[in-house]
Structure 1
Amino acid sequence: MKSAQSVSRKGPFDMLVIGGGINGVGIANDAAGRGLSVLLCEQHDLAAHTSSASSKLIHGGLRYLEHFEFRLVHEALGEREVLLRKAPHIIWPLRFVLPHRSHLRPRWMLRAGLFLYDHLGARTTLPGSTALQLDDQGPLQPRFTHAFEYSDCWADDARLVVLNAMQARALGADIRTRTRCVRAQREGGLWRVELESAEGDRELIQARALVNASGPWAARVIEEVVSSRSPYGVRLVQGSHIVVPRLYTGTQAYILQNEDQRIVFVIPYEQQFSLIGTTDLDYQGDPAEICPTEEEERYLLEVVNAHFKHQLTRADIHHRFAGVRPLLDDEDANPSAVTRDYTLTVEAPDKQPPLLSVFGGKLTTYRRLAEAALEKLEPWLDGGPAWTAEHALPGGDFDTQAALHDELAAQFPWLPQQQLARYVRSYGTLCREFLDEASGSEELGEDFGGGLTEREVRYLCGREWAVNSEDILWRRTKLGLHLSAAQQRRLDEYLQAQGRGTEATG
């Protein structure tokens, strides 16, 4: 990994990245660490769409085995261990219980699939799968007598994006949020790119390579911004989730088989809640305007109610969200069977500067996707070697969450335990940036609710590109689940009075 001082800002950028989701920031971060000069533009907030609307999992994709996507599963399983080391604050192990339903997949098939899952990729810290004998004391209905248990990981998806952007910035990358790419054309052996800020200001940027990592907008960027023809179609698949009060005690998650052969996750979420998802529906509208449908909510409730003793109704839904997964259109009639693998294309006619476009992909494999993108651009960009596998993301420079918790508790004994636990799992060692030199809660300023203090808000606006309460409450933190409407309005008032948020400082 090269230092920021090795990045030259004179002349054109080596790379301009369109898109501030996980793939865009992953590529920008990898490139900046190889000594390349990078500018990333995102038309909204970082992780504003697909990358903050996932099931919050770093997983191999057990169900992908049914579609014979062995390469994808192998790569994803290996990445679980890498990402656990890189970001122990926002990624941690999670055990999944898979109840057996005899009229669906037979037990021998599940056992064989889990054996393959255990051994298809590198697994050094996560325990393997095991069979379970259930009794009627658990949260599942008594008709479930057998289950299997296996390992994957939970992740704070939006913070994974932000931390990659922060690391890229520390390495010299220019990260522009709320900045739209209006037009890009080749001229004089370079890309000439026109950017437009949220205030309407326009700027011309030159770059040696253009990376289109705009997710659901990938084909549109090629056609409308670059004025070219997309080599692939992007199939937009809607995935919706609901959040309900905690369904059961315990730290395990559940993976439920439905009659339509799809699966639904039930995941412990923010201490007090359970996260339920996801769905698979083809989507035709504006990706920025997506929201769950009543039909999807009904579907998720029916699947959960078919498994758990505690029965849910729509009145139990505390929060709901949906995202668009931009999948490579392989013309499969079933949205659930469309590949989650990624495809990278490079267009560079007659030795012109390259356009690399990203189609598909998943949260778990973003880092390997970034390495593959840099490999494809090697003929045009002279960067250093791959480096991201061995370097922690910002805040991840500690051994275990428990050890960091104890260290911070000794340093800040006046912090409430619940607040301290949130700092550990959201910021890791980064929380010292707004805690250091504070000797009591009063020095953190106004408490907006849920332990969100004025000093934390100032940090998020100044260092993590947060602009408004939505950025803070739903992407930088998940405190939107805990703050009342009145508390959220007070945060809005504070931000407006402070005039916060045009961009993060260096």
Structure 2
Amino acid sequence: MTAVRYDMECDLLVIGGGINGAGIARDAAGRGLCVVLCEKDDLASHTSSASTKLIHGGLRYLEYYEFSLVRKALIEREVLLRAAPHIMRPLRFVMPHAPGQRPALLIRAGLFLYDFLAKRELLPGSSGIRLGCHVAGRPLKPEFKRGFVYSDGWVDDARLVVLNAMDACMHGAAVKTRTACTALRRSEDGGSWYATLRGPDGAETEVRARGVVNAAGPWTASLLGQALPQRRSQHLRLIKGSHIVVKRIFEHDHAYIFQNRDGRIVFAIPYEQDYTLIGTTDLDYKGDPNRVAIDAEEVSYLCELVSQYFKAPVRPEHVVWSYAGVRPLVEDEAQDAKAVTRDYRLEMDSGDGAGQAPLLSIFGGKITTYRKLAEEAVDLLCKALDNRKPGWTAKACLPGGDLYGDTPQNCAVLRYDEWRDKLLQQYRWLPRTLVARYARAYGTRIHTLLAGRVKLEDMGPELEPALYQAEVDYLRRYEWAATADDILWRRSKLGLHVPPGAGARLTEWMALHPLQA
């Protein structure tokens, strides 16, 4: 047998720093496995930061009889709200109804099923409303006279990924961003995997792992083909989803779900205080996932659809920001992209039999069910790696989510404002809007960010409006932020609020002020 040189050894190598990879690394590390997570770019830099920012059961999936998926997502919806009440919150959705759309009785039946497929402790149920008597009716055209309202949740998707990676790190995992897996091969005896990781400086590290998780998102199939070229694997169907952001269209705190004649639905969601987020499209995508972008036709489609509902039309020139991502969904028989299943599939390869190092590939999934996916994935891996520790994440807070104790609590969701108001008093030397933003972004980790600071001058220079050195240093030290885009667009959405040129200025400042150990 040929000896192979390696620089690092672990139980589990997780390839991919999106929500599924980070969730699996967290769960596995918490069960005592030695975990290495590598991501070729920044955490959540692709699909996982390009979602509609919803924790939801998927009301429209009921049309495709995906009752199991919807029930699973509805259960997870409240588990996640309790685990991270700072980056998530309940949200009420209004669905205006008009003749020619899905029949009102059918919608009522769907909402009834949506309410009762899973137990609810945090979210109110659905009801019919008269739009003329409801605050959500004011921005709508007068022909929309009735509608429905129901509950789901909002999430800061990129921060959810980061918190899972942080928790994995707190349980002993090594998280390596901007580190690509350039080679992956089984040992001659099949008992190990050898991977070559190339870091941001070009240096290569050889890793020996007892098992590998392929959570590479849109690149899952290509990575699997590289590792096991002789095996036929599950195919992915890449679906592009695009979103636009415009100045705030309405003043209330409800969101809208709009039906279109083509059977698709589009959301309009309050976003970053001053904006409205509109999306998404569903289009098959054949290009390079690294270069996915919204096109003019998608912008026009979204503007025209919401303009059918709002009194004030939305035009392409109103768009202040847009983003697009590719969802790596399980290939099925669906003709239309919007009908492709959002459920996930776990494909395990254990070589030629017992004692062989496993390779688990993740196909499909949605952000709401990531924790359950991770739990099921790690259950499979623990069996293969002879680890008998059970899942634990269903009853654990994510970093910063322990507002009212170490275990998830309903009161952390229902009494969030009360907890935030105490912070406003504790840190009254800071602007109230800044403390409120820190509370939402960092939860109880705000105390780490502000440790040792008692006056505004202690925050360091204000690099951009409401962005102080203290926060930049925190993000670089604890959250793997390495570039201006990491800070302005993924760790926060300050990019929407700062003056033009902020990215270049922040990049220059970071280069001149390396983080001190």
Q: TM above 0.5, one fold?
A: yes
Q: Which moved more, 1:151-160 or 1:412-421?
A: 412-421
**DSSP 3-state at the match of 2:310:** coil
Contact 2:220 2:361 in 1 (8 A): yes
Given candidates 469, 474, 486, the residue that maps to 2:501 is 486
Question: Quick one: distance in 1 between partners of 2:474 and 2:8?
Answer: 32
- 417-426 vs 20-29, which moves further: 417-426
The reply to whether residue 406 of structure 1 matches residue 421 of structure 2 is yes
Partner residue in 2 for 1:289:
291
- Are the equivalent residues in 1 in contact too, given 2:95–2:258 (CA < 8 A)? yes
Which SS does the other structure have where 1:315 is aligned?
helix
Aligned to 2:93: 96
Match of 1:197 among 184, 196, 199: 199
SS at match of 1:378: helix
User: 8 Å contact 1:21–1:215 — kept in the other structure?
Assistant: yes
Indicate the residue corresponding to 2:332 in structure 1.
330
Q: Distance in 1 between matches of 2:333 and 2:21?
A: 26
| Greater than 4 Å deviation, 4+ residue runs | none
Shift of 1:101: 2.1
Q: Deviations over 1:280-300 (max 9, x none)?
A: 011111111111010000000
SS of residue matched to 2:383 = coil
Deviation of the 1:198 alpha carbon: 1.9
Which residue is 1:270 aligned to? Answer: 272
The CA distance in 1 between the partners of 2:503 and 2:8, in whole Å, is 44
Q: CA deviation at 1:489?
A: 2.4
Residue 182 of structure 1 contacts residue 196 of structure 1 at CA under 8 Å; is this kept in 2? yes
- Cα deviation for residue 227 of structure 1 reads 3.4
Report if aligned partners of 2:115, 2:126 keep a CA contact under 8 Å in 1.
yes
CA–CA distance in structure 2, aligned partners of residues 22 and 230 of structure 1? 26
Amino acid at match of 2:396: H
Structure 1 position 380 matched with structure 2 position 384: yes
8 Å CA contact retained: 2:379, 2:391 = no
1:449 CA drift (Å) = 2.6
Distance 1:210 1:230 in 2: 18
Q: CA-to-partner distance for each residue in 1:250-277, whole Å, 9 max, x for gaps?
A: 0000000000010000000000000000
Instruction: Give the Å deviation of 1:230.
Output: 4.5
Secondary structure of the residue aligned to 2:36 is strand
Q: CA deviation at 1:245?
A: 0.3
Distance (whole Å) between structure 2 residues aligned to residue 465 and residue 291 of structure 1: 25
Q: Does 1:182 align with 2:182?
A: yes
- Alpha-carbon distance change, 11 to 443 in structure 1, aligned in 2, over 3 angstroms: closer
Q: Could you tell me how far apart the structure 2 residues matched to 1:450 and 1:259 are?
A: 43
Residues 267, 274 of structure 1: 8 Å contact kept: yes
- Worse-superposed segment, 46-55 or 345-354: 345-354
**Matched residue pairs, number?**
493
Give the Cα separation in 1 of the matches to 2:35 and 2:499: 40
> What does the per-residue CA deviation read over 1:86-134, in whole Å, with 9 as the maximum and x for residues that have no partner?
0000010000001112201000000000000000112111000010011
- Between the aligned partners of 1:226 and 1:472, the Cα distance in structure 2 is 37
Using the size of structure 2 for normalisation, the TM-score is: 0.93
**Post-superposition shift, 1:376?**
1.7
Find 1:389's aligned residue among 387, 390, 394: 394
Q: Is the 8 A contact 2:75 2:118 kept in 1?
A: yes
Structure 2 counterpart of 1:376, which letter? L
Does structure 2 conserve the Cα–Cα contact (< 8 Å) formed by 1:26 and 1:370?
yes
Instruction: Please show how residues 18-167 of structure 1 align to structure 2 within 5 Å.
Output: 18-135=15-132, 138-167=138-167
Q: In the superposition, relative to structure 1, how do residues 243 and 422 fare at CA in structure 2: closer, same or farther (>3 Å)?
A: same
2:485–2:503 CA contact under 8 A, matched in 1: no
8 Å Cα contact 1:401/1:425 also seen in 2: no
Moved more, 37-46 or 410-419: 410-419
Kindly tell me: are residues 270 and 228 of structure 1, through their superposed partners in 2, closer, same or farther at Cα, counting changes over 3 Å? Answer: farther
2:184 and 2:226 in contact (8 A); partners too = no
Matched residues in 1 for 2:473 and 2:265: separation?
41
Q: Secondary structure at the match of 1:318?
A: strand
RMSD of aligned alpha carbons: 1.5
Assess if the C-alpha contact under 8 Å between 2:424 and 2:436 holds in 1.
no
Distance apart, 1:450 and its partner CA = 3.5
The match for 2:491 is: 476
Alignment of structure 1 residues 217-236 onto 2, 5 Å: 217-236=219-238
Distance in 2 between residues matched to 1:448 and 1:401, nearest whole Å: 29
**Does the residue aligned with 2:44 lie in a helix, a strand or coil?**
coil
Aligned-pair CA distance for 1:228: 4.4
Q: 1:356 aligns with which of 360, 364, 383?
A: 360
What's the secondary structure of 1:115's corresponding residue? Answer: helix
1:465 paired to 2:480? yes
Q: What is the DSSP-based 3-state SS (H/G/I as helix, E as strand, rest coil) of the residue aligned with 2:140?
A: coil
One-letter amino acid matched to 1:248: F
Question: Does the Cα contact within 8 Å between 1:219 and 1:230 map onto a contact in 2?
Answer: no
Distance 2:425 2:284 in 1: 51
Deviation at 1:279, TM superposition (A): 0.1
Paired AA for residue 147 in structure 1: G
> Partners in 2 of 1:141 and 1:272 — Cα distance?
22
| TM-score after normalising by structure 1 | 0.95
Partners of 2:475 and 2:487 within 8 A in 1: yes
Moved more, 491-500 or 252-261: 491-500
Residue 230 to residue 219, structure 1, CA distance change in 2 (3 Å): farther
